[in-house]
Structure 1
């Protein structure tokens, strides 16, 4: 059975991959004491976004695909919370925070609109 969507062609997946790369770059600057806590958590949240989008494309119904998109959206909000924490405890600069905050809010909007489009089908 072929997937209804090719995840590699989805802009939301591509943006998710970019977020993962930027997350790894930003977390390199976190204290080593955070390696098993905030660093790991924010990286896993970032990875979850494009991973769930990709996995969802393999599902045979839009209902099942929507569940994976919902999980990706949840991970995006989780990631945003972790970004706020990283900023509040001075692990990232205000400039980096604003850039990444804007990026995640765009991704959240894209996932939400994609979910709305699929619900109509």
Structure 2
């Protein structure tokens, strides 16, 4: 018997949690004037990714679960735009580890969505 909550066994959840942690670590280096600007938006978007997966897993039915997977994907897309802006502003670099984590999370969320869409 597997232990842990269902969402905690998902690779998409694990990678999105690692991504959220990396975003927090990265934005901690942003200038003070970004504390309530871009850094907070990036953090909220990053936290929304695993949070929506968790909420979807706790709901009843495939349709609701798919809705929350879609919300996770939307938050991930928001975070991507915010990361691109952070690079443009010179706040981070395009080779920051969060980009690789996000790429992996996109693939995992897409796979999860496809799996539940055909269920």
Is TM-score (shorter-chain normalized) higher than 0.5? yes
The offset of 1:65, in angstroms, is 0.3
Q: Deviations over 1:24-82 (max 9, x none)?
A: 11001101101111010000000000000000001111000000000000000000100
SS in 2 for 1:15: helix
Give the whole-Å Cα distance in 2 for the aligned partners of 1:67 and 1:92: 32
Aligned residues: 115
Structure-2 separation of matches of 1:12 and 1:92: 24
SS in 1 for 2:92: coil
Asked if residue 13 in structure 1 is aligned to residue 13 in structure 2, the reply is yes
Q: 2:111 aligns with which of 103, 106, 113?
A: 113
Give 3-state SS (helix, strand or coil) of 1:95's partner: coil
Matches within 5 A, 1:30-41: 30-41=30-41
Over residues 68-120 of structure 1, what are the superposed CA-to-partner deviations in whole Å (9 max), with x where a residue is unaligned?
00000000000010000001100012431xx3222212211210111110111
Q: Structure 2: where are the runs of 5+ without partners?
A: none
Write the distance in 2 (CA, Å) between the matches of 1:17 and 1:113: 17
Which whole-Å CA distance do the structure 2 matches of 1:82 and 1:60 have between them? 32
Q: Following the alignment from structure 2 to structure 1, what is the Cα–Cα distance between the partners of residues 16 and 46?
A: 7
Is residue 45 of structure 1 aligned with residue 56 of structure 2? Answer: no
- Aligned equivalent of 2:25: 25
RMSD across aligned C-alpha pairs, in angstroms? Answer: 1.1
Question: Is 1:70 the counterpart of 2:85 in the alignment?
Answer: no
Q: Which runs of 5+ in 1 are unaligned?
A: none
Runs of 4+ in 1 over 3 A off after TM superposition: none
Kept after mapping to 1: 8 A contact 2:18/2:101? no
